[in-house]
Amino acid sequence: MIKSKSIDYNQIPEHIAIVMDGNGRWAQSRGLPRLAGHNAGMKSLKKIVEASSEMGLKYLTVYAFSTENWKRPADEVSGIFKILVFYIEKELKELHANNVKVNIIGDFKKLPKEAVDQLARSLETTRENTGMVFNIALNYGSRDEIISAVRALAQKSKEGTIDPETLSEIDFENYMYTKDIPDPDLIIRTSGEMRLSNFLLWQSAYSELYFTDILWPDFKKSDLEKAIIEYQNRKRRYGGV
């Protein structure tokens, strides 16, 4: 098969998900505090959101803060949320002007109040937008998401409103954070790590995975394009031949 070296804009993935990894190592390599890396990562995120919307991507999901990230030092966790609030305050007007719809996956109500309030504002402001859906995974863990869905379905079964014998994948997915969101076609992870780290485990069953050594703050539009070209040169078989 001859591989294309340029993007086919008629075959842009519908949904790309990104594990934005490497902020800390980026800062460390420059003798900077870890929060400097997170701040640089937010600048990279802005560029990738803009590029994704311009390309016609329908869904972009980014792993911003996992359920495991609470284990990090308290000052780093606090700083991440402050950077997040600043980013949303600064970019919300532009996101709204570009018809981007902000969505949160994860139990974000457990975040600090300032972050919760700003996120709620972004959700309300962009609620009617019809362009790209920008999913931010916050206080998100795929295992927690699955367990939460199982608990809800178990309660429905106990109440007699759901028959376990006829339970379908669609029934299950209706209790996930990603309800009404198609599974990601392509998952990108930066920084050279090759794992999903509790991210979209159910939804990634047939996603194409793309790993790059580039640290997230250095990830540019051209790197996104390279990942998409790689995706377009693969053949998705979904278990077939």
Residue 54 inside a domain? The answer is yes
Quick: pLDDT tens for 39-74: 999 999 999 999 999 999 999 999 999 999 999 999
The reply to whether 129 belongs to the active site is no
Assess whether pLDDT exceeds 80 at residue 212.
yes
Predicted pLDDT of residue 236: 85
Phi first, then psi, for residue 30 (nearest 5°) are -110, 10
Predicted pLDDT of residue 4: 65
Residue 76 inside a domain? The answer is yes
Quick: pLDDT tens for 18-41: 999 999 999 999 999 999 999 999
Predicted pLDDT of residue 239: 75
Please give the model's pTM, rounded to 2 decimal places.
0.95
CB atoms within 10 A of CB 92: 17
Which tokens is 101 given? 């719809």
Phi first, then psi, for residue 151 (nearest 5°) are -60, -45
- The amino acid present at 142, given as its one-letter code, is S
Q: In terms of residue numbers, what domain contains 34?
A: 15-231
The reply to whether 69 belongs to the active site is yes
- Please count the CA atoms within 13 angstroms of the CA of 159 that sit on its side-chain side: 8
DSSP code, position 4: P
Assess whether pLDDT exceeds 90 at residue 230.
yes
Quick: pLDDT tens for 147-177: 999 999 999 999 999 999 999 999 999 999 9
Domain count, the chain: 1
Q: Compare 3 and 111 and report the one with higher pLDDT.
A: 111
Query: Three-state DSSP class for 105?
Result: strand
Which tokens is 43 given? 């600048």
Read off the pLDDT of each residue in 223-239 and give the average, rounded to a whole number: 92
Return the CATH number at 137. 3.40.1180.10
Candidate list 8, 10, 21, 144, residue with the active-site label: 21
- Quickly tell me which residue has 């990562």 as its tokens: 41
Angle at 224 between CA 220 and CA 230, to 5 degrees: 145
Find, among 208, 215, 241, the residue nearest to 15 by Cα.
208
| Tally of residues, the chain | 241
CB atoms within 10 A of CB 109: 12
Residue 214 inside a domain? The answer is yes
Residue 165 inside a domain? The answer is yes
Q: Are 198 and 222 in contact (CB under 8 A)?
A: no
Residue 127 inside a domain? The answer is yes
Candidate list 23, 39, 69, 103, residue with the active-site label: 69
Residue 2 inside a domain? The answer is no
The mean pLDDT of the chain is 95
Assess whether pLDDT exceeds 70 at residue 80.
yes
Residue 221 inside a domain? The answer is yes
Residue 88 inside a domain? The answer is yes
Predicted pLDDT of residue 237: 81
What is the pLDDT confidence band of residue 91, given thresholds at 50, 70 and 90?
very high
